[in-house]
Amino acid sequence: MKFLLNGMSLAIMLILLTILSLFVGVSKVSITDIFHLTQEQRNIIISSRIPRTVSIIISGSTLALSGLIMQQMMQNKFVSPTTAGTMDWAKLGILISLIWFPQENIMIKLAFAVLLSVGGTFLFVKLVQLIRFKDVIFIPLLGIMLGGIVSSFATFIALKTNTVQSIGNWLTGNFAIITSGRYEILYLSIPLLILTYIFANHFTIAGMGKDFSNNLGVNYDRIINLGLFISATITALVVVTVGTLPFLGLIVPNIISIFRGDHLKNALPHTAMLGAIFVMFSDIIGRLIVYPYEINIGLTIGVFGTIIFLTLLMKGRHHYAN
């Protein structure tokens, strides 16, 4: 397993899955046709397959890194955008934008999603600091309960305003709607990834505690706020573009930390590649299992994620007890 998680093996798997993703779908485009594509096939590749594959890579890698940052900042291996309620706040932001500005473009939805996801994440952190949980399992439980309240409130508002169908696209992840012109907003996450790499060592130090950080001259509160802002913004970008992708930010960082350690800067490239691989594999399976129909990526990731997470828990590794 450790061999499969080294940089070269992950890069090869990602390249192979990327090529496969370009040629899997209802419209028949074979890899043998690559040098003599018809106009229709060329349009399919450029306007649908490439945008979908690029959005899978960006969404998978950034959301996995978002989970890694949150786990490092909260010093808890069970915290992620899913278990901290960040995704639920982002969906509430999208719903509010649909009600108030139904005709506006996607940037308005993004602005509301970022605003509420950042605010909701900081609220979660403040509640954790206020209650001062000592058992690591209670922190994600608090996030799940908070996310459940927000999700229920969003559903209530959607029912009252007759916007249930409008918000439906963001309730579960779906790459089938990704075409040219609908995914470019994900490129906004690239500067955030660069910022994450620049401050990776600071995030690692902050993850060791406030006293340790202050002794090394690192402004603990500022780094924590920066890390949570990056994580919440990335989550909002993914939710606005493709919808909810459960478990991704939870299991991928845990797998990498088991085999590669907890040093954030060393784990960043491996986490990003494994996140992209996991989403790409799940998406391809979703396209093939009921071909020519398609299963939403949120469902396939949920199934695979549940199996993987339960497997990790049942192994009873000491890694999760710390």
Residues 257-292 pLDDT 10s: 887 777 777 888 889 999 999 999 998 998 888 877
Task: Return the pLDDT at 319.
Answer: 46
CA dihedral of residues 233, 235, 240, 244 (deg, nearest 10) = -170
Q: For residue 271, which of 93, 123, 40, 60 has the smallest C-alpha distance? A: 60
Highest mean pLDDT, choosing among 183-192, 254-263, 289-298: 183-192
Q: Please report, for the domain that includes residue 144, its CATH number.
A: 1.10.3470.10
Q: Which domain holds residue 289?
A: 7-321
pLDDT at 76: 82
Q: Which residues contact 186 (CB under 8 A, 6 or more apart)?
A: 54, 55, 58, 59, 62, 237, 238, 241
Please tell me the predicted confidence (pLDDT) of residue 322: 46
Task: Give the DSSP per-residue string, 108-142.
Answer: HHHHHHHHHHHHHHHHHHHHHHHHT--STTHHHHH
What is the total count of domains within the chain? 1
Domain membership of residue 269 (yes or no) is yes
Nearest-angstrom CA–CA distance, 278 and 252: 8
Assigned domain for 2 exists: no
Q: What is the pLDDT of residues 10-31, one digit of tens each?
A: 889 999 999 888 888 777 777 7
Report yes or no on 138 lying in a domain: yes
| CA 52 – CA 205 distance, rounded (Å) | 36
Predicted local distance difference test score (pLDDT) of residue 316: 53
pTM for the model stands at 0.86
Q: Which residue has the tokens 């075409």?
A: 179
The rounded mean pLDDT for the chain is 83
